[in-house]
Amino acid sequence: MTTKAKQDSLIWGVILIVIGLIFFLDNINIDIWDFVARLWPVILIVWGAWKLYFGIQDARKKDTSHEI
């Protein structure tokens, strides 16, 4: 498996766990939707930072591989 495929698997695993946790908490009558509705911008910020970090990291790897 390549590094990109491992990262994608990790990301999708985390997404599925979070979605499952949200539905589970809703089923046991914990109002998670209000919490999610207030914090969704934070989710977008973290996701964007994650993409930016790994995009820069991949670009650096490509730059160093051309120098060899």
More reliable by pLDDT, 54 or 6: 54
Question: Tokens for 32?
Answer: 């998670």
pLDDT at 17: 92
pLDDT per residue over 14-66, tens digit each?
889 989 998 898 899 888 778 878 888 998 898 899 889 888 888 888 777 66
Q: Give me the number of domains the chain comprises.
A: 1
**Residue numbers of the domain that contains 60:** 3-67
**Cα 48 to Cα 25: distance, rounded to the nearest angstrom:** 26
Q: Does residue 1 carry a pLDDT above 60?
A: no
The reported pTM is 0.49
**Cα 64 to Cα 48: distance, rounded to the nearest angstrom:** 24
